[in-house]
Amino acid sequence: MDHVLTMILAGGAPDALGILGRHRAKTAVPFGGRFRLIDFPLSNCVNSGSRDIYILTQYNPRSLRRHIRLGRPWDLDRDRGGVHILLPYSGAKRTSWFKGTADALAQNLDILKRSRSRYVLVLSGDHIYKMDYRELFHRHVVTGATLTMATRPMKAGDGNRFGMIEADSAGFVKRLREKPGNDFGSDASLGIYLFDREFLIDNLERISEEGKYDLLHDLIIPAIATEKVATYRFDGYWEDVGSLDSYYRANLLLVDSQPSLQLDDPAWPIYTRMENVNPAWFSADSRVERSLVGAACRIEGEVRGSVLSPRVVVEKGASVENAVLLEGCRVAAGAKVHRAILDKMTVIGEGALFSGAEGLAILGKHSILPPGSRHLGQQETSIGELEAKK
Amino acid sequence: MSLKPYGGVSVLILAGGRGERLDLLTNERAKPAVPFGGNFRIIDFVLSNCFHAGFSDVAIFTQYLPRSLEDHMGLGRAWDLDRLSGGLAYMHPYRGFDRSNWYGGTANALYENLSALEEADADHFLILSGDHIYKMDYNDLVARHETSMAQVTVAVRPVPIEQAHHFGIFEQDESGGASAFVEKPSEPKSNLASMGIYVVRKQFLLEELRRRGPSEPALDFGKDLVPNWVDEGSINLYSYDGYWLDVGTLESYFAAHRDLLGSEPVFSLDDDSWRILTSSQPRCPMHIGTTSHLEESLVSDGCRIEGSVVRSIIGPGVVIEEGAEVIDSIIMEDTHISQNCRIERSIIDKRVHVGKKCRIGGSGVGEINAEKPQALFCGLSLIARSSVLPDGFTLGRNVRWSLAAGDNAESRFPDRTIADGASAI
């Protein structure tokens, strides 16, 4: 993988993640009681031997930058290569935000030009999967394609969520359409592309002059007609946690004893930055079942089917069921949390109820629910909204 | 050109000892590198104290099995000691043009590195032991030392009089000054114990080392220097009454772990104002299964718990299978406890595999260990690092076990039983 330069697209606003995305980049959204979404592509890179990585970002970059810093948890704190974060900047020729995925790359064309790598791997920063990019790379080299994209068979009905492809029997892409519905191919493109560097540079320059900014529509789809575009068919776990519902489900999947996404596989570690590694405390009154519990949690109540990030406190008589609690939440004595996502540092007051009932309830960062208050049913609420209601 | 260290203090940590009474725990590692409290090592406490106090010029004196410590501490990054100026230095015995000596005593270790001490741009040396469990802000100690004008300040703490014979004991005159010092007195006249924490003015220490070092190859702080300094009137005492423990024996090591448990523990690892820093790698959150039962226990990251854990401390990556019971025990990193085991009052080191239906330890004291009566006398059983217990073995109290996969445990012990006080090594 020394011939591969990796560009991770991490600039998107997590619109569909509601209040979870209000204060952070989508790639910095916490996942699985410990990780952030960026940990998955970044760990995949390191495990695949790719150590020359740029992360392109512009939306709420602080949380992401604080997480990555010099890249030490991924062993990417290196003199040559390593990980770098690229933000829009003002220059002598032009000053603009990244206007699209292709524009983000085009604005950093000098990096692509200066690189001695023959290939460029372009990834999304917000998908959860474990992939050995060397297999994609081998497929690319063997087929002699200009562009190879990872694809995966999807469930019926998912044709409205992804870019779907039709391939010929040799595995070359014939057509690609964004969210075409169910009458198209069954395989989706996973947003993982390996380009010949020269091809990518030439085409970025061309479409940029034409005022086009989207990598998929303006560069990849047109290339299918003229270039050899191969597929690398992947059949492992892959999830785009683009909505609150899929985010919730992907988290809760992890509480099974044999989950379809194994996070502690010694052969494919997912690295992350972690400061607090204190053991968690379980009192004599604690009852915990089918759950993930993070470092330095204090559990004195009941926890079932839930994912708890570090430093969560569940007090005596409190109960947490089918919920995702991010770092530092406190569920006070006698309170109940059910079918819910609590963002960082929220407090559920004594005896309060916060439940999505049949739906899902989400409580924003730093919110405090007053003792004894009841919040039942599908909802998204935060401290600001709570105060406005007063 | 380097910056003068913070407070004019250069820290010297003595971490070369073996810790013989910890028996199998220190067979493959230095005592300060013994795991503690799930995710930590004993050395983390003094290093975290230095971090919180702001002292960043730290030399660590090693001799016995130093690799365990170096693997853990690395460049000292976890404690912010990876620095351009000052930072962490390892002081291991070495051979030179006109010298080739092992360290014969605590002060001799310093004497053997006299040139490094002379070069230190410090006014005082803060001398610490690498194997004590406590949280102390050394700034207060150093400030009191500076204003006292004494050459040496020693931190002292009252201990129960019946345990005083384990410690170096100061006697005081009417004004509260030190009048005598006896190392491990058989009939202690006071309960004021030295904590092994010394602040010494740089020039005074250098002169003492130059004067006594050449002729005393076993020069020791507690045995040689401190009694003499008391007689000369050079010592000022600094009283401390916070939590402090020298984990010298398996009994005190175990007791220190009991102090971590409880909703309001005697000694909290989870103190936001005084975090204990360590260099452990992050792991996944622990997975708690449907058949688990957890009670008054500390459990670390990366564990998979299906069995029952009561009043125990579980290190990272431990697996406890369904039907297994762990009671009043310490289980270290990556150990695997199979189905239907019962483990009571035991210390199980790292990467041990315990087979199905094994029984280890029990309540009460039982017969003292025949081979190591100094180490295993209070009923605790000890399983060495990376050893394997085949299915169905029963181990009594005060038992030592250090048999690995190829050691034919089944043919050596056909009845699969190790009685109280026996060793399987």
Domains detected in chain B: 9-258 (3.90.550.10), 287-424 (2.160.10.10)
B381 touches chain A (CB under 8 A): no
CB pairs under 8 A between A and B: 105
Question: Which residue in the block uniquely carries the two structure tokens 């790698």?
Answer: B281
Q: How far is A31 from chain B (nearest CA, A)?
A: 11
B284 touches chain A (CB under 8 A): yes
Give the per-residue pLDDT at A385.
64
Asked if A123 and A37 count as a contact pair (C-beta separation under 8 A), the reply is no
Asked if B146 and B138 count as a contact pair (C-beta separation under 8 A), the reply is no
Q: Which residue of A has its CA nearest to B40?
A: A278
Residue A221 inside a domain? The answer is: yes
How far apart (Å, rounded) are the C-alpha atoms in residues B90 and B70? 8
Examine the domain organization and report whether A240 and A359 are in the same domain.
no
B268 touches chain A (CB under 8 A): no
Flag if A283 and B300 touch (Cβ within 8 Å): no
Mean pLDDT of all residues in B278-288: 90
Q: How far is B39 from chain A (nearest CA, A)?
A: 6
Examine the domain organization and report whether A50 and A193 are in the same domain.
yes
Flag if B287 and A286 touch (Cβ within 8 Å): no
Indicate the residue among A213, A234, A253 that finishes a domain.
A253
Q: Residue B24 phi/psi, 5° resolution?
A: -65, -25
Token pair belonging to B312: 């125990």
Examine the domain organization and report whether A170 and A216 are in the same domain.
yes
Task: Report the SS3 class of residue B275.
Answer: coil
Flag if B276 and A278 touch (Cβ within 8 Å): yes
Distance, first Cα to last Cα, chain B: 53
Give the per-residue pLDDT at A388.
61
Asked if B276 and B290 count as a contact pair (C-beta separation under 8 A), the reply is no
Asked if B334 and B354 count as a contact pair (C-beta separation under 8 A), the reply is no
Partners of residue B307 in chain A, C-beta under 8 Å: none
Examine the domain organization and report whether A244 and A188 are in the same domain.
yes
Token pair belonging to A37: 């979404």
Give the per-residue pLDDT at B97.
82
Examine the domain organization and report whether A224 and A150 are in the same domain.
yes
Flag if A299 and B294 touch (Cβ within 8 Å): yes
Examine the domain organization and report whether A9 and A72 are in the same domain.
yes
Tell me which residue range forms the domain holding A368. Answer: 281-386
How confident is the prediction along chain A (390 residues), in pLDDT tens digits per residue? 778 999 999 987 777 788 888 878 888 999 999 999 999 999 999 999 999 999 999 888 888 999 999 999 999 999 889 999 999 888 877 778 999 999 999 999 999 999 999 999 999 998 999 999 999 999 999 999 999 999 999 988 888 888 999 999 999 999 999 888 877 888 999 999 999 999 999 999 999 999 999 999 999 999 999 999 999 999 999 998 888 999 999 999 999 988 999 998 989 999 999 878 899 999 999 999 999 999 999 999 999 999 999 999 999 999 999 999 999 999 999 999 999 999 999 999 999 999 999 999 999 999 999 999 999 988 888 876 666 665
Flag if A278 and B269 touch (Cβ within 8 Å): yes
Question: Tell me, what amino acid is at B421?
Answer: G
A95: left (phi over 0), alpha (psi -120 to 50) or beta: beta
Asked if B322 and B291 count as a contact pair (C-beta separation under 8 A), the reply is yes
Residue A264 inside a domain? The answer is: no
Examine the domain organization and report whether A205 and A108 are in the same domain.
yes
A243 burial type by CB count under 10 A (0-12 exposed, 13-18 middle, 19+ buried): middle
Q: Which of B39, B263, B282 sits opposite A279 (nearest CB)?
A: B39
DSSP string, B65-93: SHHHHHHHHTTSGGGT---SSSEEEEE--
Give the per-residue pLDDT at A5.
97
Considering only CA atoms, which of A118, A110, A164 is closest in space to residue A144?
Answer: A118
Residue A258 inside a domain? The answer is: no
Token pair belonging to B232: 């000369």
Asked if B168 and B222 count as a contact pair (C-beta separation under 8 A), the reply is yes
Q: Which of A277, A311, A320, A326 has the most B C-beta neighbours within 10 Å, making it the best mutation to test the interface with B? A: A277
How far apart (Å, rounded) are the C-alpha atoms in residues A307 and B170? 53
Considering only CA atoms, which of B338, B256, B246 is closest in space to residue B38?
Answer: B256
Flag if B314 and A294 touch (Cβ within 8 Å): no
Question: Which residue in the block uniquely carries the two structure tokens 């005074």?
Answer: B204
Q: Tell me the pairing of strands A368-369 and A127-129.
A: unpaired
Q: Which of B270, B308, B336 has the most A C-beta neighbours within 10 Å, making it the best mutation to test the interface with A? A: B270
Chain A residues in contact with chain B using a Cβ-Cβ cutoff of 8 Å: 32-34, 73, 255, 257, 263-264, 270-274, 276-284, 286, 288-296, 298-300, 303, 307-310
B140 touches chain A (CB under 8 A): no
Flag if A277 and B286 touch (Cβ within 8 Å): no
Partners of residue A31 in chain B, C-beta under 8 Å: none
Asked if B21 and B380 count as a contact pair (C-beta separation under 8 A), the reply is no
Interface confidence (ipTM) of the complex: 0.88
How far apart (Å, rounded) are the C-alpha atoms in residues B344 and B363? 7
The CATH number of residue A45's host domain is 3.90.550.10
Residue A40 inside a domain? The answer is: yes
Flag if B298 and A280 touch (Cβ within 8 Å): yes
How far apart (Å, rounded) are the C-alpha atoms in residues A368 and B323? 40
Indicate the residue among A233, A253, A273 that finishes a domain.
A253
Residue A345 inside a domain? The answer is: yes
Asked if B292 and B31 count as a contact pair (C-beta separation under 8 A), the reply is no
Q: How far is B417 from chain A (nearest CA, A)?
A: 33
Mean pLDDT of all residues in B267-291: 92
Give the per-residue pLDDT at A357.
93
Residues A110-121: b if buried by 16+ CB within 10 A, e if exposed: ebbeebebebbb
For chain A, how many structural domains are there in total?
2
Examine the domain organization and report whether A249 and A296 are in the same domain.
no
The DSSP letter of residue A261 is S
Q: Which residue of B has its CA nearest to A272?
A: B282
Q: Which of A32, A286, A295 sits opposite B301 (nearest CB)?
A: A295
Q: Which of B287, B292, B313 sits opposite A292 (nearest CB)?
A: B287
Partners of residue B270 in chain A, C-beta under 8 Å: 278, 281, 296, 298
Q: Which of A278, A283, A292 sits opposite B263 (nearest CB)?
A: A283
Count CB neighbours of A275 within 10 A.
Answer: 11
Residue A89 inside a domain? The answer is: yes
Alpha carbons within 13 angstroms on the beta-carbon side of residue A333 total 2
B334 touches chain A (CB under 8 A): no
Count CB neighbours of A153 within 10 A.
Answer: 12
Q: Which residue of A has its CA nearest to B291?
A: A289
The CA–CA distances, whole Å, from A369 to A361, A364, A374, A388 equal 13, 11, 9, 13
Examine the domain organization and report whether A304 and A350 are in the same domain.
yes
Asked if B358 and B341 count as a contact pair (C-beta separation under 8 A), the reply is yes
The CATH number of residue A331's host domain is 2.160.10.10
Examine the domain organization and report whether A122 and A213 are in the same domain.
yes
Give the model's confidence band at B174: pLDDT under 50 very low, under 70 low, under 90 confident, else very high: confident
Residue A276 inside a domain? The answer is: no
Indicate the residue among A211, A235, A253 that finishes a domain.
A253
B259 burial type by CB count under 10 A (0-12 exposed, 13-18 middle, 19+ buried): middle
**Under 8 Å CB-to-CB from A57, ≥6 apart: which residues?**
A10, A11, A25, A27, A64, A85, A86, A87, A125
Q: Which of B285, B288, B296 sits opposite A284 (nearest CB)?
A: B296
How far apart (Å, rounded) are the C-alpha atoms in residues A126 and A101? 14
Q: Which of B301, B303, B305 has the most A C-beta neighbours within 10 Å, making it the best mutation to test the interface with A? A: B301
Q: Which residue of A has its CA nearest to B297?
A: A282
Give the per-residue pLDDT at B132.
95
Examine the domain organization and report whether A231 and A373 are in the same domain.
no
Flag if B270 and A294 touch (Cβ within 8 Å): no
Examine the domain organization and report whether A246 and A295 are in the same domain.
no
Residue A69 inside a domain? The answer is: yes
Q: Which residue of B has its CA nearest to A271?
A: B282
Flag if A300 and B263 touch (Cβ within 8 Å): yes
Question: Tell me, what amino acid is at B335?
Answer: T
How far apart (Å, rounded) are the C-alpha atoms in residues B422 and B425? 10
